[in-house]
């Protein structure tokens, strides 16, 4: 098994427009990779920075894509490009708590060889990727894969 570490750093400073604290902080993935993060703009964050909800959607979409690419390679399909406009939705749970209730992936895959999956095969590839995705297996949000 593996461990995945992230160091978060936040230092108290005033919010630039509100009489409260800044939500801006840094996620340090490695000495070479840092991600400036804030709360979502709706929660007094900086809209130009990544927010935790976006990072969760990214984690799911990225995990799904990586698993999909591995399955395609093993099945003899050569993927030329993969684009996803993933969307996460925050809503109130039946208990009244805010949560990321659903994530919809919109993968657009271009295959680079003569071997092209038909619609049913493409759906099976995405289904297998979803079943294998570590992040999808770790969250309780509804996940939909919309192939258009």
**Where along the chain do its domains lie?**
7-43, 52-145
Q: How is domain 52-145 classified at the CATH fold level?
A: GMP Synthetase; Chain A, domain 3 (3.30.300)
pLDDT (0 to 100) of residue 77: 96
pLDDT (0 to 100) of residue 16: 86
| pLDDT tens digits along 28-55 | 999 999 999 999 999 999 999 999 999 9
pLDDT (0 to 100) of residue 1: 86
Q: What is the mean pLDDT of residues 95-121?
A: 95
DSSP 82-131: EEE--EEEEEE-TTS-EEEEEEEE-EEEEE-SS----HHHHHHHHHHHHH
The answer, yes or no, to whether residue 143 has pLDDT greater than 90, is: yes
Half-sphere exposure of 27 (CA within 13 A, CB side): 14
What pTM was computed for the model?
0.92
Q: What is the mean pLDDT of residues 71-93?
A: 96
**Tokens for 115?**
């071997």
Cβ neighbors of 84 (< 8 A, separation 6 or more) are 61, 64, 65, 105, 106, 107, 108
Write down the mean pLDDT value for the chain.
96
């Amino acid at each position: 098994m593996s461990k995945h570490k992230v160091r978060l750093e936040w230092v108290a400073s005033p919010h630039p427009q509100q009489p409260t604290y800044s939500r801006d902080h840094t996620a340090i993935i490695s000495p070479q990779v840092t991600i400036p993060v804030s709360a979502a703009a709706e929660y007094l964050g900086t809209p130009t920075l990544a927010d935790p909800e976006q990072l969760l959607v990214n984690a799911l979409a990225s995990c799904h894509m990586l698993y999909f690419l591995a399955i395609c390679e093993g099945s003899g399909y050569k993927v030329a490009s993969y684009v996803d406009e993933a969307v996460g939705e925050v809503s109130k749970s039946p208990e009244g708590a805010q949560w990321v209730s659903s994530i919809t992936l919109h993968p657009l895959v271009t295959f680079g060889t003569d071997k092209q999956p038909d619609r049913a095969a493409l759906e099976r590839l995405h289904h297998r990727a979803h079943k294998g995705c570590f992040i999808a297996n770790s969250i309780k949000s509804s996940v939909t894969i919309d192939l258009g």
